[in-house]
Amino acid sequence: MTTDLLSTTAFHQLLDAATRAPSSHNTQPWQFAPIDHGVAVIADRRRRLPVNDPFDRELTISCGAAITNIEIAARHLGLDAQVTALPEPGDNDLLAVVHLSPITDARAEGEPEFAAIETRCTTRGPLAPHHTIGLADVVAGDNRVTFAEIGDDRREALADLVADGDRAQFADGAWRRELAGWMHPRGRGDGLTVGSLTGAVTRTVVSRFDLGRSTARKNHQLVMDAPQLIVIGSVDDEPGDWIEVGRQLERLLLRGAAQGCRAGYLNQPCQVSSIRSRFQDLVPEAGVPQIVVRIGASSETAEPTARRPIADVITTTGGTR
């Protein structure tokens, strides 16, 4: 499979980078199609989370992160990447087209971030204050996207909101069943990794029992101990904003990973609608809060989550666009 500029090998290199982007429950909700001089990025709604993410907000953010990885990998291959988001108003699934063109002397710029695409991974464990990120150095940023750092004066209030979110989510049986349904052995290539022998027990416990209190206690402490807490928000709350949030989120994560940082998410205050408005009041400078990231150093052995084969995310639908 080729485009006018890409061999099959180069196209697969771009998609290998794209699929290493983070996604909710590791759903990997994307497809990619070769187009003339580029790649189309398409939402795979079959992999959506209707309870956790009823408006596909996080699904779209995840696809935005994949777009950033395509941009960085393209530059590594000596190609300039120009992104057009939502190019066809009548097609809600076509989230972006990435137009490629040859450039020279491209590899020196962005090489640390390119290397970090493969090593970046999410942690759910504690973080130590050996590494943090200077937000002024992250990205030039789109004016639709905001970054707000949570200081000690608001840390406990955020921890309370995260804990409230945990209790609200685990109290919802449909939410628990959806979470359990995405717990898979590593060999499946997607989802939240559980052991092949213990996975069935884990899924049963998660789906049947309200673990909100214990999860809330754990995550409350993770907030209190986090070396750095960053809220990524947007001026508006539409698909175009979500795409850009995803693009900027991934730039933040890759810049951090290149500097030895690890990141974990505490997005519960953004996911529970009754809490999101309270969260917005807590961090008004973030606009509409979309993502909560904690950043620091981790003693855990880094092991990126499993990914599906490239062949599974390639589609010819819309390939002539």
Determine the Cα–Cα distance for residues 199 and 185; give it in Å rounded to an integer.
7
CA-based radius of gyration for the chain: 19
Task: Tell which residue, 313, 276, 303, has the closest CA to residue 120.
Answer: 303
* Confidence grade of residue 317 (pLDDT, cut at 50, 70, 90): low
pLDDT attached to residue 72: 97
User: Is 319 a residue whose pLDDT tops 60?
Assistant: no
User: Is 1 a residue whose pLDDT tops 60?
Assistant: no
Domains annotated for the chain, with CATH where assigned, are: 8-120 (3.40.109.10), 135-171+210-296 (3.40.109.10)
- Of 32-46, 78-92, 120-134, 146-160, the range with the lowest mean pLDDT is 120-134
pLDDT attached to residue 211: 98
* Confidence grade of residue 105 (pLDDT, cut at 50, 70, 90): low
What is the number of residues in the chain? Answer: 321
Report residue 303: phi and psi, to 5°.
-140, 100
Question: Tokens standing for 236?
Answer: 């508006």
pLDDT attached to residue 320: 36
Determine the Cα–Cα distance for residues 11 and 73; give it in Å rounded to an integer.
10
pLDDT attached to residue 4: 60
Question: Tokens standing for 240?
Answer: 């175009």
* Confidence grade of residue 274 (pLDDT, cut at 50, 70, 90): very high
- Segment 230-245 mean pLDDT: 97
pLDDT attached to residue 321: 37
Cβ–Cβ under 8 Å, residues 83 and 67: yes
* Confidence grade of residue 299 (pLDDT, cut at 50, 70, 90): confident
pLDDT 10s digits, 151-206: 999 999 999 999 999 999 999 999 999 999 999 999 999 999 999 889 999 999 99
- Segment 70-77 mean pLDDT: 96
User: Is 218 a residue whose pLDDT tops 60?
Assistant: yes
Cβ–Cβ under 8 Å, residues 266 and 294: yes
pLDDT attached to residue 135: 67
User: Is 114 a residue whose pLDDT tops 90?
Assistant: yes
Could you tell me what percentage of the chain is helix, strand and coil, using 3-state DSSP and rounding each to the nearest 5? 45, 20, 35
Task: Tell which residue, 31, 303, 307, has the closest CA to residue 188.
Answer: 307
* Confidence grade of residue 7 (pLDDT, cut at 50, 70, 90): confident
- Of 204-208, 286-290, 297-301, the range with the lowest mean pLDDT is 297-301
Could you give the maximum distance between any two Cα atoms of the chain, in Å?
A: 57
Mean model confidence pLDDT for the chain: 92
* Confidence grade of residue 140 (pLDDT, cut at 50, 70, 90): low
Cβ–Cβ under 8 Å, residues 37 and 46: no
Cβ–Cβ under 8 Å, residues 139 and 251: yes
- Of 76-90, 126-140, 161-175, 228-242, the range with the lowest mean pLDDT is 126-140
pLDDT attached to residue 109: 62
Helices (runs of H) and strands (runs of E) counted in the chain: 10, 10
